Structure 1
Amino acid sequence: MYQTAAALLFAHVLADFMLQSDGMIREKRRPLVQLAHAAIVLAASLAALGQVVALPVVLLAVAHLGIDRVKLAVEDTIRPFLIDQGAHLITIGAIAVAAPTLWKDGLWPDLLPAKVADLVPLAMLYVAGFIVAVRTGGFAVDKLLAPYTPYWKRAAILSGGLQNGGLLIGQLERGLTYLLVLAGYPTGVAFLIAAKSILRFNASKDDRRIAEYVIIGTLASVGWALAAAFATGALITLAGGPP
């Protein structure tokens, strides 16, 4: 069952956070855009499973569309975002339980050498976890900090900061946190936070609001990456892979 769940999780994070363009996000209330996104979810899921067509996967795509439509009816803040992603994970788990042989019955176990086919779902979990840590974490932190972002942007412009510099810093810290934890060096995260704090000190020491924004953003960003890394490690262990 875990192979099916891993493939569906991998397809979900690809469809939601890598294959969904900024234009699609901006136009997400248009029915055709919603249908296009559901089609991407369906195609990504079928490809990950090595299936040409499968009714459970079609039902998953329909459920994905329904969940997204419900989310559009509420405010786009951190809580609905987390509930939305939780609902998607529940549907993935339900499909994996109801149709556990989707991976086994797909093309990949027959096309790939047995040892490679066994490793592919584990690789999917690692990559899915990395995307969740880095890319999904960016959306989550942005939504958490949204009430304070206008002030931060004005301060960044006045200070002459690099365009999208904060975005890249956040991605790097989450990516490094994820890799450090899974590599068995979680204590390295403390040095990462310390280094960022030192580098940010001069920019925030004279403005309490900037200092608090940086602290909240850093803790949320690193905390999200830690959660993604430990969750991925737990799933890998349950799947019988490296601890």
Structure 2
Amino acid sequence: MIETLAALVLAHVAADFLLQPDRMVAGKRKPLWFAAHIAIVLATACATTGTLHPALLALAFAHAVIDAGKLVLPRQNAASFALDQVAHGATLIATATFLPGLFASGLWSAQPALPALFALAAVAIWTVRAGGHAIGLLMAPWTALIRLDGLPNGGRAIGQLERGLIFLMILGGLPEGIGFLIAAKSVLRFGTVREEAKLSEYVIIGTLASFAWAMLAAYATLAALQALPPLGIPDFSP
């Protein structure tokens, strides 16, 4: 079951956060954009499981129902994002529970290290890309209250880089490097926020949320890798 779930989770995060550009999100109320997204959901599920099992059609249909339900909400916020992802996660778990051998019956069954790689890639995407979306929604109520004069999408790029670095540090066995990252960001931001309380608090909240997201994702990855076949990467530690 865990191999199938890893494949399905990678398919989901790739379809939702890697292969869904901003213009697709903005145009999802249009039938063609919506259909294109669901087609990508189905294609990624088939690609990661290595099979064309009819259950994947049902999974794509469930994804469409959940997304359609989200579109009727008056506005998107952190709570609606969490509810949406929980609903999608439930469909993935249900599919893996009822069809635990889905991955084993697919084209990639002879590659035992793939599920662990899938899990690693899935959480990396979730950490960097989904984290940015979730934290953006979390910070939205305060964004209009401050003045942001930085580069276009500069904050998004900084967040993605810091979450990616934290993810790599923890998986590489160097969690102490997070303290250095916090110190470096504090020094670089000090001159910008020291004279404006609102901006200072905004940066602190966003930074703590970003760091917490990356740390939770990284430790969840370590736990998941324990339940999957090893990647076969040798341990070079002394």
The correspondence of residues 24-173 of structure 1 with structure 2, limited to 5 A, is 24-51=24-51, 53-74=52-73, 75-109=75-109, 114=110, 117-152=111-146, 155-157=147-149, 161-173=150-162
Deviation at 1:163, TM superposition (A): 2.7
**TM-score between the two structures when normalised by the length of structure 2:** 0.93
The CA distance in 2 between the partners of 1:118 and 1:220, in whole Å, is: 35
Whole-Å Cα distance in 1 between the matches of residues 115 and 229 of structure 2? 11
User: By how many angstroms is 1:31 displaced?
Assistant: 2.7
Superposed CA RMSD in Å reads 1.5
Instruction: Give the counterpart letter for 1:78 in structure 2.
Output: A
Give SS of 1:108's match.
Answer: coil
Q: Deviations over 1:23-76 (max 9, x none)?
A: 11001112332222111101110011111x211111110110111111112221
Per-residue deviation, 1:240:
4.5
| Distance in 2 of aligned mates of 1:231 and 1:90 | 17
Which deviates more, 136-145 or 225-234? Answer: 225-234
Amino-acid identity (%): 47
Q: Does 1:207 align with 2:207?
A: no
Paired residue for 2:180? Answer: 191
**Number of residues paired by the alignment?**
231
Counterpart contact for 2:116–2:229, Cα < 8 Å: no
SS in 2 for 1:156: coil
- Mapped to 2, the partners of 1:73 and 1:188 lie a distance apart of 43
Which structure has more relative contact order (CA 8 Å, sep 6+)? It is 2
Range 208-217 or range 19-28, more displaced: 19-28
Taking structure 1 as reference, are residues 23 and 67 closer, same or farther at Cα in structure 2, changes over 3 Å only?
A: same
Q: Distance in 2 between matches of 1:162 and 1:30?
A: 31
Distance in 2, Cα, partners of 1:237 & 1:189:
23
Q: CA deviation at 1:150?
A: 2.8
